[in-house]
């Protein structure tokens, strides 16, 4: 499961980087692609980065949880 979340993290990060590059180019050159303006690409980038943050936090919490459970079992 950890590999799956690492893959999702990298995937959303790469998609966000590509989207922000497209947004900057669209703003500089003033083109509209598929009827989407630069602000649309930036909002999509924002959503992807929110997913990256959420997945990263989930991985951090998941990594600490087994250690705490094991420590509680040892104390008993």
* pLDDT tens-place string over residues 30-55: 888 788 888 888 999 999 999 999 98
Print the domain residue range for 38: 2-75
Q: Cβ neighbours of residue 58 under 8 Å, at least 6 residues apart?
A: 5
Cα gap 3→38, rounded to integer Å:
33
- Domain tally, the chain: 1
Instruction: Look at 8-22, 24-38, 57-71 and tell me which has the smallest mean pLDDT.
Output: 57-71
pLDDT for the residue 59: 85
Structure tokens that stand for 64 in this block:
């600490």
Cross-strand partners of 36: 33
Query: Whole-prediction pTM value?
Result: 0.72
């Amino acid at each position: 499961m950890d590999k799956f979340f690492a893959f999702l993290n990298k995937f959303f990060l790469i998609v966000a980087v590509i989207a922000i590059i497209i947004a900057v180019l669209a703003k500089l050159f003033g083109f509209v692609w598929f009827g989407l303006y630069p602000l649309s690409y930036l909002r999509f980038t924002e959503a992807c980065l929110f997913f990256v943050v959420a997945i990263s936090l989930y991985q951090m919490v998941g990594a600490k949880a087994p250690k705490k459970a094991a420590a509680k079992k040892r104390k008993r």
